[in-house]
Each structure stands twice: as C-alpha cells, then as structure tokens.
Structure 1
C-alpha cells in the first residue's frame, strides 16, 4: 500500500482521529506488520460503530457483548488485548482500563 500515514504518537495512535480512513487504518496495520484479517476488520468497524454511538472506546466486556462474541474468543483472535489494536487501527483514542 502506498498511502501516506498521518502523524502518530509513540504508541502508534493517530494524533488526529479525523485523519482516519479505512485505507489509512489498513496501511497503519501493514506498516506495523499486523495481520488485519477480514474478521478482525469487521470487528474493528463494529468498534467504530460503538464509538460513534457512545463517544468512547468500549471496554472488552461491553464490546464482546455488543458483537455477540465471547471475550476469550476475541483474545484468541487478536492474540493480545483486542481493544488496543482495534482502537489503534480504527483511528480511535487509546482505550482505558481492561482492554
């Protein structure tokens, strides 16, 4: 992908959330060497939907319930705390609390 990635902070989050587009999100993941599968991408879009409705990144419990997937499955799919990469590549703020 030859997309210019906007400025990011030391943890890789966009400095300006308004810079996010799906293409930028995918380019960020690619630049970081993160495998963004279609299943992960769909979950990321659901998290953005939640964020737009509630103006906050959902905690993992609420997010798992929101999309109807057991949180243990989410941890396995993402191989880490899922809300960190979801919020990073989804152009959302850094999550707080249990992610």
Structure 2
C-alpha cells in the first residue's frame, strides 16, 4: 500500500489515494487530500465533508451521488441538494472526490 505524509505523520492509502483507515482522518489530512485533488476547501466544502462523515457514521456506507444529493437537500436545503452545486465544489464527482477528501472509502458504483 502507498503512504502519504501529513505534518510528519504517515497514513496508509490505497492505489487511488483513499485512506485505508477511516480513523486516520483529520482536518489536516483533508486539506492534504484536497490539494492532491486541486480543491481549495471553503466553508461550503467542509459542510459537505462533515455531512458525509456523519452520514457514514450513521449508515456505515459512503453514499452514491444520487443518494448524497437527495440527503444533502433534505438536511441543508434544496439550493445545496443539487448536482450543479455539488459539482461546483467537487468537479471530479461529488460522491467520489468528496468521499476521498472526507477520508471515506470510495462509494460503491463509482468508477
């Protein structure tokens, strides 16, 4: 397995750069992973990342993009629960890219 180093500490990642251990995640790791994805994290990004982590803690699964969009719409409002908004934040795929930055496993069904 590959490793990344953040603030002098090493973390194991899979071949696509997803954290192997969910408990290794912290905000510094998120910033590092976001940089590797060419994403500069804003409050809107953190809102989605924290939503994803809460969702994972509740359901033990990373949501696919349709489920993510619908769930965010319910919790954060229709203006945020749509694909256009999420793709503006995470242009390489709201589920896949956001889950990676949030330290979650790659959602099932993502290529």
**Which residue does 1:81 correspond to in 2?**
93
Counterpart of 1:59 (choices 61, 64, 78) is 64
Rg larger in 1 or in 2? 2
**Which residue does 2:13 correspond to in 1?**
8
Q: Structure 1: state its 5+ residue gaps.
A: none
Q: Which has the higher contact order (CA 8 A, sep 6+)?
A: 1
Q: Deviations over 1:5-52 (max 9, x none)?
A: 512122111122221112221222234443222211210110111111
Moved over 4 A (4+): none
**Structure 2: distance between partners of 1:13 and 1:60:** 17
Kindly indicate whether the alpha-carbon contact (under 8 Å) linking 2:18 and 2:103 is maintained by their aligned counterparts in 1: yes
**Structure 2: distance between partners of 1:89 and 1:5:** 16
When normalised by structure 1's length, the TM-score is: 0.82
Q: Structure 2: state its 5+ residue gaps.
A: 1-5, 74-80
Is 2:55 the partner of 1:50? Answer: yes
Kindly indicate whether the alpha-carbon contact (under 8 Å) linking 1:20 and 1:90 is maintained by their aligned counterparts in 2: yes
SS state at 2:11 partner: coil
CA RMSD of aligned residues (A): 2.1
When normalised by structure 2's length, the TM-score is: 0.75
Tell me how far 1:95 sits from its aligned partner. 0.9
SS state at 1:6 partner: strand
